[in-house]
Amino acid sequence: MRSELAGSKCRCPYCKATVVVPESDSTVLSGAGVPSIDTGKSDSISGGARTQRSGRSSTRGSLGTSGVRASSDGSSVSLVASGAIAGGATVALFLLLYPLKAAGIRLGSMFWDSIGINFPTTLLMFWSFAMLVLKWRQLSVQRSAMLMDLLPNTISQEITLDSLDQFVSHIRTLPEKARQSIIVNRVLRGIEHFRVRKSAAETVTMMESQSGIDAANVASSYAIIKVFIWAMPILGFIGTVMGVSSAVSGLSATLENASDVSAVTESMKGVFGGLGTAFDTTLIALVMSMIVKIPTSALQRSEDAVVTIADEYCNETLLRRLNDGREGGAERGSHGKGGAFDQGAFQQVLEVALGSKEVAAYQKQCALHTRQMNEQLRQMVQVNAEIQDMLGNVSSGLKTQFTGVEKSIAGLNEVLTQLGEKQVVVQKVNKRGWFGKSRPSRRR
């Protein structure tokens, strides 16, 4: 466990036992399942590994003598597994709703009357929930790994090339689930890079880029869920448009072929019932999209916080203790006085290595690329604003069209109702002659 947790009670994330964190990092926690470090064994491993490493090429050195390579980022989940779970849950839900439909309950009819649209919409909802549950389980593993002291001070106060193997051997003693976390992978990648490059300054730069990679992996792992959230209301609108189109065509055929007002009224009931079912698809899709969006945002925020904590741990525990035998350690070559970047010293080094003209040309080229990137970003922002305006116009247009159709149908329903309450009387009127007298009907 971490040294700052010493003396406090904590529940082990793996064996679920409540233990008191000892003062010494080398003490084995009772029942916690986290073994202590055998320093003698680590030293022998380190000595043998250094002998073996001396005969290897630099390309194979990136693996480390421990044979440990950083595993997956721990943020992605299996689409096949989550899809199988979602398919089973969707089928089970429709089977449970079928008795409600047979009993005439509206909830069952809402799902079964438009099953061609509601089934894929429900499948996307359960698929999103399955992915969120799997990611939540991975997030609990990520948080559990943060309780572990990956780089204990009992091995060495400083992380040097000679003590790397001992730290890697300690990480190998951690539970398998903990080694699949972001923070453990980040530490292993930093150690491997430091072993190969033998430069603390380059390790600092690599860890900064690795932080961006981890953040990008977390963001990209939610891309499929966001697509599902976008697709659910679209499916609902498609079902509504199909239902309205079918109802209007049925209404036209009914008005053309009907000869009795009562028959028209009866047929209109079926038409309006179909319209209600069509609008139910949009209602169901919007509700499903909303209940998926809320936990997705909360879980993504929690996972971003895990990446931030991993950044803090690497900066405070790993990078500060790196010592490559040069003056300044990890800060040499990347920071100036007071921990700030010394741009003047960096420019002097470039001028000595490349010459003043080459440096000036390089600066002009960098400035040109910067202006081009800014212009491209401005264009992208403008295009994004135009797309948002277009989507808003399309949404308002659809809303207006649906409102007009609803008003027209309501007016037609009122007219037909009035016609059903009245009687039509046809009287025979005799034609009058030129001077107002009725002509006698002639019969043959």
223 and 276 share one domain:
yes
Of 368, 388, 408, the residue at which a domain comes to its end is: 388
Q: What is the structure's pLDDT at 49?
A: 40
27 and 107 share one domain:
no
Residue 415 lies in a domain: no
Residue 246's nearest CA partner among 405, 394, 82, 39 is 405
Residue 439 lies in a domain: no
Structure tokens that stand for 145 in this block: 């790994």
pTM of the entire predicted model: 0.55
Find how far residue 349's CA is from the centre of its chain.
Answer: 44
Residue 84 lies in a domain: yes
Q: Give pLDDT < 70 ranges for the chain.
A: 1-74, 250-274, 327-357, 359, 421-444
237 and 375 share one domain:
no
**Owning domain of residue 378:** 352-388
121 and 80 share one domain:
yes
Residue 302 lies in a domain: yes
Q: Which residues contact 301 (CB under 8 A, 6 or more apart)?
A: none
Count the domains in the chain.
3
Residue 235 lies in a domain: yes
285 and 372 share one domain:
no
Q: What is the DSSP letter of 283?
A: H
Residue 407 lies in a domain: no
Find how far residue 18's CA is from the centre of its chain.
Answer: 34
List C-alpha distances in Å: 322 to 162, 236, 327. Answer: 11, 57, 12
Contact call for residues 215 and 307 (beta carbons, < 8 A): yes
183 and 292 share one domain:
yes
Residue 235's nearest CA partner among 295, 283, 296 is 283
d(CA 219, CA 212): 11
9 and 143 share one domain:
no
134 and 246 share one domain:
yes
d(CA 125, CA 297): 15
Q: What is the structure's pLDDT at 169?
A: 87
Amino acid symbol at 297? S
Phi then psi for residue 381, to 5 deg, are -65, -40
List C-alpha distances in Å: 334 to 203, 329, 345, 355. Answer: 10, 10, 11, 21
203 and 181 share one domain:
yes
Residue 371 lies in a domain: yes
316 and 383 share one domain:
no
Q: What is the structure's pLDDT at 96?
A: 92
28 and 57 share one domain:
no
d(CA 188, CA 250): 67
Polymer length of the chain? 444
Residue 299 lies in a domain: yes
pLDDT in tens, 40-62: 333 433 443 443 443 333 333 33
pLDDT in tens, 385-397: 888 888 888 888 8
373 and 237 share one domain:
no
